Structure formats: structure tokens, C-alpha cells
């Protein structure tokens, strides 16, 4: 795996100052987010904290939604009933680019699933 892709809950925790989230970010030199993760964080930050959130997100490479990622996300939705298209895109973004997904969302991303890391719970 080449670097890590972070899910929105971990990033939001880091922005709120949770030490476990900050420590997890520091574990990786190559940090990425899907474009949908970027959007989720920015939507949550509006309007009061948008500048700080955008500065924070500028430290991550953004995985854009490609045709390959979209096709993989569609397959994931077919294989995992109940997985939202948004979470399928987040997971497919990590998988297609060969990165581990760092999340604390164990409802949609089970701990036992290959390529998933759940470093802490709240």
C-alpha cells in the first residue's frame, strides 16, 4: 500500500483536536483524501470554520473521481447492499489507488475488511 486515504470522521476528529486522530495523521508521510471526503469536511466547516478546514485539507493529496473509481464504487454497492454511493466512492478511491483507508466508521467499513484501518473509537 502506498500511503493512506483518510475518511471524513478521522479528519473531523483531528480538526476538533482529538489526540488519537492527530496521532494517526502523523503515522503517514503520504496522506490522501477522496474528493467526496474533501466535500464532506468542507460542508461541515461552513460557514464558520471554512478557511481553517481548507488550510488543513491542503496538506492532503486529493483523489479525484475517475471513471475507474466510479465503476469500482458501483461494484462495491452491488456487493455490499446498504453501502451508500458516497462511502463506496471513498472506499473505491482508496482501493483503486492502492492505499489503506483510515476510518472509524465501522458500520460501513468493517474492521476485518482488507485495506481498512480503524485506529481508535470515540
Query: Mind listing the pLDDT tens digit for each residue in 43-75?
Result: 999 888 999 999 999 999 999 999 999 999 999
In order of their start, the domains of the chain are 4-117 (3.40.50.1010)
* pTM for this model (two decimals): 0.94
Query: Mind listing the pLDDT tens digit for each residue in 2-18?
Result: 799 999 999 999 999 99
State how far the Cα of 26 lies from the Cα of 6, in Å rounded to an integer.
Answer: 12
Amino acid at each position: 500500500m502506498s500511503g493512506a486515504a483518510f475518511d471524513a470522521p478521522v479528519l473531523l476528529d483531528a480538526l476538533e483536536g482529538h489526540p488519537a486522530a492527530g496521532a494517526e495523521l502523523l503515522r503517514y508521510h503520504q496522506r490522501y483524501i477522496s474528493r467526496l471526503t474533501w466535500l464532506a469536511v468542507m460542508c461541515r466547516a461552513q460557514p464558520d470554520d471554512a478557511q481553517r478546514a481548507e488550510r488543513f485539507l491542503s496538506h492532503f493529496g486529493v483523489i479525484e473521481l475517475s471513471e475507474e473509481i466510479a465503476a469500482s464504487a458501483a461494484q462495491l454497492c452491488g456487493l455490499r447492499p446498504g453501502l451508500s454511493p458516497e462511502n463506496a466512492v471513498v472506499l473505491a478511491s482508496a482501493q483503486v489507488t492502492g492505499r489503506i483507508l483510515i476510518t472509524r466508521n465501522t458500520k460501513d467499513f468493517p474492521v476485518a475488511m482488507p485495506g481498512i484501518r480503524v485506529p481508535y473509537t470515540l
